[in-house]
Amino acid sequence: MGTFTRENTDLAIDLDGVGQQHRAEAGGMIIALERWHAGLDTAEMFAGLPGGACQEDHWGYTLRGSVTIRYTDGQTETLAAGQAYHIRPGHNVHIDDDAEFVEFTRADQTPGINTLQP
């Protein structure tokens, strides 16, 4: 498959009232199509991961909305619609405004990718 939509990818995460992630794997990458509602914060969901944070690199593009990234070293950054990004390991996110992303993660780096499951 060379193109990806919500219709031809797997619903990997569906958190009632919070958002969804559709996902496929190709070319050694996980391709994620994500929609999240304002207020989502991953700190509690990722509490069981090393450092209480996601330890994966993510690359992507923000289609709409905004998100604040908090790193375990104390740094923060905000992503907004129209920005491409790289999120380094050791992070949690807070969705500031309803947001949509197209995100890529190396398939060999995804042991914790299902941590958003309820």
Q: Which pLDDT score is estimated for 2?
A: 86
In a domain, 4, yes or no: no
Q: Is 79 within the bounds of a domain?
A: yes
Residue 5 covered by a domain = no
Per-residue pLDDT, 17: 87
Has residue 116 got a pLDDT over 90?
no
Tell me which residue range forms the domain holding 90. Answer: 10-116
Domain count, the chain: 1
In a domain, residue 85? The reply is yes
Question: Counting beta carbons within 10 angstroms of the beta carbon of residue 37, is it exposed (0 to 12), middle (13 to 18) or buried (19 or more)?
Answer: middle
Q: Are 52 and 73 in contact (CB under 8 A)?
A: no
In CATH, what number is assigned to the domain containing residue 51? 2.60.120.10
Specify whether the CB–CB gap between 94 and 68 falls below 8 A.
yes
| Residue 6 Cα distances to 10, 28, 55, angstroms | 8, 19, 26
Report yes or no on 2 lying in a domain.
no
Tokens of 84: 């491409």
Average pLDDT of the chain to the nearest whole number: 91
**Does any domain span residue 81?**
yes
Q: Answer whether residue 3 is part of any domain.
A: no
35 lies in a domain? yes
Share of the chain above pLDDT 70, in %: 92
Across 25-29, 67-71, 87-91, least confident range: 25-29
